Homo-oligomer: A and B are copies of this chain.
């Protein structure tokens, strides 16, 4: 089978990882070019990966005939334009989460993809983590009975750099909790109907200038009655801690793991071990798996596993959490997303 030619837009932390994976670990793909408004950064990455082509924007990328798909890893607020350009050029699209920061813009992205009849996949990579995948499989197989309580925690060791906030890459709920909201829908096999959030800027005073939260808790009610809670925190200090539980009527599944290495030290002061420190470590397999799946879906002309609609619904939950937190009230997710366009959970 011919390799799928792929270009990567955005060479920050995530764009670089995707480019590396495409270069070395996705045999079905060929990394053709990288692009970034910072042309020098694009050149450096091209050098490091020993590829020839680099550009200062998406336009020259999508003009290449040997580029069949683009991976969009630019700041969130630029996603829509990039999606529209790529779709107009007939390129398949893998776009980092969040697809956009408003429902309108998500809808525009979905519409552009639909018009161009190209495949649009969104980067909720946790669905590709072996542990989450196995949990999902067990739930689908009925092994835990009816899902009753959903619980998910996402804690970063250190907050993203201030430049991330300056780029407008989204609030705590839209940028970080959105992973938990996607898991909530996917693992509970239901839609979130109502939310309530408390939040604060409690650990990182430097975020106050951006009006950004560093900690939030979100109560969830699902449309079939189940309940749940999501916590996001930007600065745990001890490590990158991702923990999710689905309590069912028959059994419970739990995904969570703290260790980076298999080493334990036992001394007078107790027993200790290390902690995974970064999402690129914890989800290294997931990032690779999602790209391979994207490439294979394009090659087989099969629909993506994580769709624009998934992005839209997770965003609606995040927006509702945001509104709840600002107004200190329960918010129906339907307030964020026109009901006529809501479909049942897949």
Contact A328 B328 (CB under 8 A): no
Q: Which of A178-224 contact B (CB under 8 A)?
A: 194, 196-200, 202-203, 215-221
Q: Mark A169-180, 1 if CB is under 8 A from B, else 0.
A: 000000000000
Number of copies: 4
Q: Is A338 located at the chain interface by the 8 A CB criterion?
A: no
Measured between beta carbons, the chain B residues less than 8 angstroms from A50 are 27
Q: Kindly specify which of A67-75, A247-255, A298-306 makes contact with the partner chain.
A: A247-255
Contact B217 A149 (CB under 8 A): yes
**3 cross-chain pairs, A with B, having the tightest CB-CB distances, nearest first:** A257-B262, A251-B267, A272-B272
- Which A positions have Cβ atoms within 8 angstroms of B? 24-25, 27, 50, 129-132, 134-135, 138, 143, 146, 148-149, 151, 153, 155, 194, 196-200, 202-203, 215-221, 225-229, 231, 233, 235-239, 241, 247, 249-275, 328-330
What 19 additional pairs, Cβ within 8 angstroms, besides A24-B25, A328-B330?
A148-B233, A149-B215, A196-B196, A196-B198, A198-B219, A198-B220, A200-B225, A200-B227, A238-B251, A238-B266, A238-B268, A238-B270, A238-B271, A239-B271, A241-B266, A252-B265, A253-B263, A255-B264, A271-B272
